[in-house]
Amino acid sequence: MKKIIFIVVFTILLTGCSSQYNLKFEDGKISEEIITTISNSDIPKLTPEDEALGLELDDPITPFIEMDQYPFADNEDIKYDKTVNKTVSSTIVTLKYDYTLDEYNKSQAKKLCFQSSSFSDGKTGAFFSASGKFYCLYGDEVQINFTTDRKVTEHNADKVNGNTYTWIINRDNQDNVNIDIKMPKEEIITQETKTNFTLLIIGLIILVSGLFLYMKFKQGKEANRL
């Protein structure tokens, strides 16, 4: 029953007044954050008359707010880090989980929301792409934000803010999503490497200075002989 509830809930995960799907790719790991703002008026409620008649609501939203949620379809032991904030007009649910690259490729969000998607990090670099139909649009719009500390050489984001690349999915493009971002492989310069490079430069400066002084000294001696 738990898994069935999650799958039903995930299909309404990106509803409400606003929704964001945030991915952060740093140090070979992926941090996922799903923020869902649900208007209080959208949460089904029983009237006193319904309760008197013993009626039940077909309500997947309340279990989504109140129950645990799971990043993997086939693992009920691992849970999202979940926070729920209630305001006067809405309920904001935030789900967070940190994946390895292999784990993310098995995640609920990637497998259920995108018809086709790929995320890899190999010898030539890393890339994330998604195409085809997007199955998790149940509100007016979904904002997908991809943040990375890598250098980005190619992307087709709708907008860019610093190192965050954003795609907007709505009714016009949900059947033909096109997300693409590429990041080349870069050498990571450690502090030890920086220190060794600095010492090498200092050594070269001392060597060149020594040779210059030696040549000047040798020229002076030859001039004295003449």
DSSP assignment of 15-38: -SSEEEEEEEEETTEEEEEEEEEE
Residue 206: what pLDDT? Answer: 81
Per-residue exposure over 7-18, b if at least 16 CB sit within 10 Å of its own CB, e if not: eebbbbbbbbeb
Q: How many residues does the chain have?
A: 226
Q: Both 199 and 170 in a single domain?
A: no
Q: Both 116 and 209 in a single domain?
A: no
Residue 146: what pLDDT? Answer: 96
Q: Is the pLDDT of residue 76 over 90?
A: no
pLDDT tens-digit profile of 13-47?
A: 444 456 889 999 988 889 999 998 888 877 777 67
Q: Both 142 and 165 in a single domain?
A: yes
Strands, sheet with 141-148, edge to edge from the N-terminal-most edge strand: 81-86, 90-100, 29-39, 18-26, 141-148, 164-170, 159-161
* Number of structural domains the chain divides into: 2
Q: Which ranges in 93-148 belong to alpha helices (H)?
A: 101-104, 108-113
Q: Is the pLDDT of residue 56 over 80?
A: no
Q: Both 70 and 143 in a single domain?
A: yes
pLDDT tens-digit profile of 110-164?
A: 888 899 999 999 888 899 999 999 988 767 788 999 999 999 999 999 999 999 9
24 torsion bin: left (phi>0), alpha (psi -120 to 50), beta (else) = beta
3 torsion bin: left (phi>0), alpha (psi -120 to 50), beta (else) = alpha
Residue 27: what pLDDT? Answer: 84
Which tokens belong to 181? 């971002």
Amino acid at 22: N
Structure-model confidence comparison of residues 83 and 50, the more confident one: 83
Q: Both 206 and 170 in a single domain?
A: no
Q: Both 125 and 66 in a single domain?
A: yes
Average pLDDT over the chain reads 80
CB atoms closer than 10 angstroms to residue 148: 18
Residue 80: what pLDDT? Answer: 94
Average pLDDT value for residue range 90-105: 92
Q: Both 69 and 13 in a single domain?
A: yes
Q: What percent of the chain has pLDDT over 90?
A: 38
Residue 43: what pLDDT? Answer: 78
Q: Both 118 and 212 in a single domain?
A: no
CB atoms closer than 10 angstroms to residue 81: 12
Segments forming the whole domain that contains residue 197: 190-226
The CA–CA distances, whole Å, from 193 to 55, 111, 184, 196, 200 equal: 69, 40, 21, 5, 11
Residue 5: what pLDDT? Answer: 40
**Whole-prediction pTM:** 0.71
Q: Both 107 and 202 in a single domain?
A: no
Q: Both 171 and 225 in a single domain?
A: no
199 torsion bin: left (phi>0), alpha (psi -120 to 50), beta (else) = alpha
Residue 96 near residue 31 (C-beta atoms within 8 A): yes
